[in-house]
Amino acid sequence: MMKAVQYANKGEDLKLVEVPIPKPGKDQVRIKIVACGICHSDTFGKYGIPGITYPRTPGHEVGGVIDQLGEGVTGFKVGDKVGVGWFGGHCGHCKACREDDWVCCTEGKVCGIHYDGGFAEYMVAPLDALARIPDNLPFEQAGPLMCAGITVFNSIRHQHIKVGSVVCILGIGGLGHLAIQFARRMGYEVVAHSSGADKEKLARDLGAHHYIDGSQPDAIQKLTAFSPKMIVATTPHAKTIESVIPTLAVGGKLLVLAAAQEPLSVSCLQLIGKKQSIGGWPSGDSRDSEETMRFAQINDVTPMIETFPLEKAPEALAKALNNKVRFRSVLVMKH
């Protein structure tokens, strides 16, 4: 038997339970979990999401060690350090998969939604969901890199913005504190934009070259002077995002990474006249996770985390939801 934290049903809160240790099937491995990050999406089990069945253990920022191989597994062995992020598997035959775009697979699986995730001592995962964790990267840092980290790293690197350009990171939270670090190390001139003067020191420590306090009346004027080639919106506030769109350079791009509840309102005339565009990006697959962790490790990108024992998962999730954690909560298992 093992400890796991799960949603017994839609509408219920997380509960600690004892369940049998799962066995890996064909082309699957069992992971002895060392750490698992907590994310806002871990509430999807409570509120329900298409494709979910119950009971369900959430957790898609998993770091651990393979401790059993299922039938037919090649390429991985017992003892390998692996992780699983949001991407939990792909079908291999849909249009997106045939275009090698696994994360947009129409039959794709999400770890912790379509099968049990990392809020447990063990889990089973399919081979295509596995990302190798670099030797010297601690498990508790690997987790957030496979969700918040991959989301900012993989989206920014696919925008083809020239190195040396000004990039503005809007918001300093779970995503933003990593986006500043990645963008700086990718070779951009980084402007951090957040609310309040108290965030300036943190922004600069993370690698921002400049800081703009968005609560000040001259904030838009200041950002316009930088005229960023790209604004990476990590805040879910539509009004804040709308307010900065006019500061983009000619050919500039707004990259939207956090889901604002309100729709964005934008001037088409401005987009046309200045050749600007708006885009989104959904994290990435297990191969991107490996590259995110590798880049982070060799370039000293470090998620700021607070750790909790597995038993404290409900409290840790509540703290994360109330923004009481700087910036990612991570569960650490005692085996």
Cβ proximity to Zn ion: between 39 and 313 the closer is 39
Cβ proximity to Zn ion: between 58 and 252 the closer is 58
Residues 6 or more apart whose CB falls under 8 angstroms from that of 333 comprise: 33, 34, 35, 36, 121, 309, 310
Residues 6 or more apart whose CB falls under 8 angstroms from that of 101 comprise: none
Question: φ, ψ for residue 56 (rounded to 5)?
Answer: -140, 130
Instruction: Quote the least distance from Cβ 79 to Zn ion, whole Å.
Output: 27
Residue from 17, 30, 105 nearest 56 by CA: 17
Instruction: Quote the least distance from Cβ 140 to Zn ion, whole Å.
Output: 15
Instruction: Quote the least distance from Cβ 39 to Zn ion, whole Å.
Output: 3
> Which residues of the shown chain bind Zn ion in the complex (CB under 5 A)?
39, 41, 90-91, 94, 97, 105, 147
Cβ proximity to Zn ion: between 236 and 252 the closer is 236
Q: Please report which residue ranges of 275-325 form alpha helices under DSSP H.
A: 286-298, 313-321
Angle at 327 between CA 284 and CA 124, to 5 degrees: 45
Instruction: Quote the least distance from Cβ 83 to Zn ion, whole Å.
Output: 13
Measured between alpha carbons, how far is 255 from 280 in angstroms, rounded to an integer? 6
Task: Give the N- to C-terminal CA distance of the chain in Å, as an integer.
Answer: 12
Cβ proximity to Zn ion: between 39 and 331 the closer is 39
Instruction: Quote the least distance from Cβ 239 to Zn ion, whole Å.
Output: 24
- Tell me which residue has tokens 């447990």: 120
Cβ proximity to Zn ion: between 151 and 247 the closer is 151
Cβ proximity to Zn ion: between 3 and 90 the closer is 90
Cβ proximity to Zn ion: between 41 and 159 the closer is 41
Instruction: Quote the least distance from Cβ 6 to Zn ion, whole Å.
Output: 17
Instruction: Quote the least distance from Cβ 213 to Zn ion, whole Å.
Output: 28
The answer to whether the CB of 283 falls within 8 A of the CB of 259 is no
Residues 6 or more apart whose CB falls under 8 angstroms from that of 268 comprise: none
Measured between alpha carbons, how far is 7 from 15 in angstroms, rounded to an integer? 7
Question: φ, ψ for residue 168 (rounded to 5)?
Answer: -100, 130
